[in-house]
Structure 1
Amino acid sequence: MGAKTALLAFTQGDLRPVLLGTGAADRVKAEHLVREIHPGYAVTPIEDGVLGDWCYPPDDVTYVAMLPGAELLCDRRLILDRPSELPEELLRAGAGRRIIVHGMHSVSDWLCFAVWEDGVLVRSLSLSPDGGIVENIGEPYDFERPYWAGGHPVGSTLTGSPYPLPFHPLELGEDALRALFGFILEGRREPDDVDPFDVPVHGFRVEDPTGEEQAAREAQFVAWMEAAGPPRTVRWGSVQGQ
């Protein structure tokens, strides 16, 4: 499994029929939404694309699908380890509508998703094998219940030790993606699934003009590299006892 997502949607109802009937593109409204979400940032239009390619865009890049009665943003800044801490300005932007967040990263087997109904958080889950269950708020959705009931065991890790969670986050992540957004990125598609490669998105480069955000991100990466230590090398002869 290698899927990654960083998705946030504001919608009046189920996203699936909206994404199936995408409608006409509106770059002006998309740019207005990006500027509302990131006030004070430098916003520059870039080449458009399709949702299937840009569910997890690079740093400083946002893609937007403008839909009838809904907006869908692909933006790594909007996804948090604790989804319940979604900034107030995003809650205001989605006021009166359903707000859905989905984040997934295949390198760390991390998953989060959350849903607000009329401004009230009804479900938030964030977990990974290294961090455990970081957040688990509200009643599980029906698509989750088989996972919590032990219906999707993982088995042992490469080291032979048991997997530290009762299920694989990315497997649940795909089911959450289908249930909440109407499509999947990996696995067998169902007849009524949306094809994310049929959904157009508008692209924007969105940068902190002060450079502080970029510097903090680089410093965090350096700290992570230092904590990881130098790369280890193993000589084949030493492995064979020669």
Structure 2
Amino acid sequence: MAFNDTLVVYSDGNPIDVLRACPVLDKPATRLLAQRLFPGAAVEEIGDELLADALNPPRDVVYVGCFTGLDLVCSWTLTPQRPSQLAPAVLEASGRRQVLLHAAHSDAEWCSFGVWRDGTLLRALSVCADPGVLEDEGEPLAFEAAVEHPVELGDRSLQALIGFSCAGHDRLDDVDPELIPVVAYRVSLPATPGTAS
């Protein structure tokens, strides 16, 4: 099953435990986080969504979920090709101890993920079918063993890090992204001098 996703998760503890519990959305906090991630931009709330439908947002839309112990963001604008290039402002936006980045594009046969704890990058991997490994930093994680294809790695890493799969082989203890509410914001960046508005 083809899937594309971009996800940054900030957590104090294990994010899977928080998401499994179907946490209550803190809607005012979502706007504050969106404004922190896009300083100087116009941020317009455009509706509510479920995480399952927010993983592959349009370029000008960010989906934000804020809960007790965890914040998450879906935005291609924030996602670098190499995890180590995640902007410091994005890395520090929530102030929580752990940050997880996951992105995958099945058509491009590309997968990328990163793990930070207390501001230190522990693992960064970005792989595509051609030209291959774009970044490989830190010690490999257990779920990486014997995975040969980027699409499979994308699915397996999403399951291991965030708790669910986009490939349709749900497990009984999976997080259900159809039960996780998020808020959609349209982000309008200010025009730069010399460009048409």
1:172 maps to 153
Within 5 Å, give how 1:99-138 maps onto structure 2.
99-138=99-138
1:55 is the counterpart of 2:48: no
1:181 is the counterpart of 2:162: yes
Deviations 1:41-89 (A, max 9, x none): 1100011110001101001101111121010101111211111011111
The AA in structure 1 aligned to 2:117 is: E
The AA in structure 2 aligned to 1:53 is: D
- Do the aligned partners of 1:95 and 1:118 also contact (CA within 8 Å) in 2? no
2:28 maps to 28
| Structure 1: gaps of 5 or more residues | 148-166, 216-242
Deviating above 6 A after TM superposition, structure 1's stretches of 4 or more consecutive aligned residues are none
Deviations 1:117-142 (A, max 9, x none): 11000000001112310000011100
- Do the aligned partners of 1:11 and 1:70 also contact (CA within 8 Å) in 2? yes
| Structure 2: gaps of 5 or more residues | none
Greater fraction strand: 2
Between the two proteins, the alignment pairs up a number of residues equal to 195
1:37 is the counterpart of 2:18: no
Whole-angstrom CA distance in 2 between matches of 1:183 and 1:89: 27
Change over 3 Å in CA distance of 1:27–1:95 after alignment to 2:
closer
- Do the aligned partners of 1:61 and 1:204 also contact (CA within 8 Å) in 2? yes
SS at match of 1:49: strand
Instruction: Give the TM-score taking structure 1 as reference length.
Output: 0.77
- Do the aligned partners of 1:95 and 1:119 also contact (CA within 8 Å) in 2? no
Greater fraction helix: 1
- Do the aligned partners of 1:96 and 1:119 also contact (CA within 8 Å) in 2? no
Q: CA deviation at 1:95?
A: 4.0
Instruction: Give the TM-score taking structure 2 as reference length.
Output: 0.94
Whole-angstrom CA distance in 2 between matches of 1:70 and 1:95: 10
2:87 maps to 87
- Do the aligned partners of 1:61 and 1:203 also contact (CA within 8 Å) in 2? yes
